[in-house]
Amino acid sequence: MLIPSQKMNHLGTESAFSVLAKAAKLSNEGKDIINLGIGQPDFKTPAHICESAIKAITDGNHGYTPANGILPLREAVCCDLEMRRGANINPDNVLIVPGGKVTMFFAIQIFGEPGTEIIYPDPGFPIYASAINYSGAKAVPLPLLEKNGFSFSADDLLALITDKTRLIIINSPANPTGGVTPKVEMDKLAKGLEAFPNVAIMSDEIYSRMLYDTAQHASMLAYPNLKDRVIILDGWSKTYAMTGWRLGYSVWPESLIEHATKLAINSHSCVNAPTQFAGIAALEGPQDAVDEMMAAFSKRRTVIVDALNNLPGFSCIMPGGAFYAFSNITQTGMTSMELQELLLNEAGVATIAGTSFGQYGEGYVRFSYANSTENILKALDRVKSIL
């Protein structure tokens, strides 16, 4: 009998992928499924980005690259960070990785071990808790509440820190709620962390360019007092509709970049070379496609939130960022999972139960608006008729 290690029992998963598989199965059986479960833009990667990857292949740029990524890409990342977040980052502190997820896995494995604690947002991206549990550390949830617009409160976060805390994870704009944490809370957090010099912070900023109305992104790169312990997670997946390319980057402080690079060498060696060239084209090329995508998301956001608020038992606050509406469903009398299953099986609408994002997600269902307005309206019509 094979005996996998104990730690495998602690690894969780991302239910979005199992809902996706279920929806695909129903679709293959001939059922008409509208997918509001998926967390990826329904737009094509802009042509000039694709062309630069094709050119890289035909030019012969298809071998191994340095483990931390090709220098022109890391330089392009630094220019972008300077332009958009006013940060002065050395390309030596940037690590190119195959997707945003890799940064969270590395950061959590660098700090997590039995006897330590890592604080993470709940509801939040499910891989945070999964990877923390896998590392052996105690996963300490920071509840994100609807009454606070699903933003975190710096005081609540700071109150969770103990002498065992090694890392805290924050995410704004957030998945699954679309919540945006205002700069005042970030300022408070940055100040408050001065009392805890041994605590690192990983700021998941993958939705930093997906903001609506007057919402603004407050980056953790803005705080010189935290320079030695901030890890930034970002990437191309969402902003440039490049989820399947697997391209992300992280910014690491001086004392951690070597650990992170070693993890890269031990796991994937480097990101595939043509994709890295595509990453340069994305950052340095025209940004109209990003603007057009955000204009479309902005319209759909109003459409979906209005339609959700018209469903019996549903109420949904307007998300400030990302492309998710996290609707309160407590008045339906069903649990999040019951409703997810009902909507998929009876209405042919794929959504994700709030509990897939942590215990504080009970009473909520996530609707992704990475689908056409027509499909969103059709889906919510169907939901209305079965409710």
**Ramachandran assignment for 65, one of left (phi > 0), alpha (psi -120 to 50 degrees), beta (any other):** beta
Least CB distance from residue 279 to ligand PLP, whole Å?
12
- Determine, following the binding rule CB under 6 A, whether residue 100 of this chain makes contact with ligand PLP: yes
Q: Of 97-105, 266-274, 276-284, 329-337, which segment contacts ligand PLP by CB under 6 A? A: 97-105
Least CB distance from residue 100 to ligand PLP, whole Å?
3
| Location of structure tokens 């059986």 | 29
295: nearest Cα among 83, 43, 85, 50? 43
224: nearest Cα among 92, 89, 385, 64? 89
Q: Give the CA angle between residues 41, 19, 289 to the nearest 5°.
A: 0
> Which of 65, 175, 250, 332 is close enough to bind ligand PLP by CB under 6 A?
175
> Which of 235, 274, 279, 358 is close enough to bind ligand PLP by CB under 6 A?
235
- Determine, following the binding rule CB under 6 A, whether residue 99 of this chain makes contact with ligand PLP: yes
> Which of 171, 177, 239, 355 is close enough to bind ligand PLP by CB under 6 A?
171
DSSP 48-76: HHHHHHHHHHHTT--S---TT--HHHHHH
Amino acid at 146: E
Q: Give the CA angle between residues 22, 207, 338 to the nearest 5°.
A: 30
C-alpha–C-alpha distance, residues 188 and 196, integer Å:
13
Q: Judged by CB, which is closer to ligand PLP: 177, or 327?
A: 177
Least CB distance from residue 97 to ligand PLP, whole Å?
9
Q: Of 5-13, 93-101, 109-117, 194-202, which segment contacts ligand PLP by CB under 6 A? A: 93-101
Q: Which residues contact 195 (CB under 8 A, 6 or more apart)?
A: 158
Residues 194-223 that bind ligand PLP (CB under 6 A): 204, 206
> Which of 125, 152, 240, 314 is close enough to bind ligand PLP by CB under 6 A?
125
- Determine, following the binding rule CB under 6 A, whether residue 248 of this chain makes contact with ligand PLP: yes
List of residues contacting ligand PLP (CB under 6 A): 39, 99-101, 125, 171, 175, 204, 206, 235, 237, 243, 248
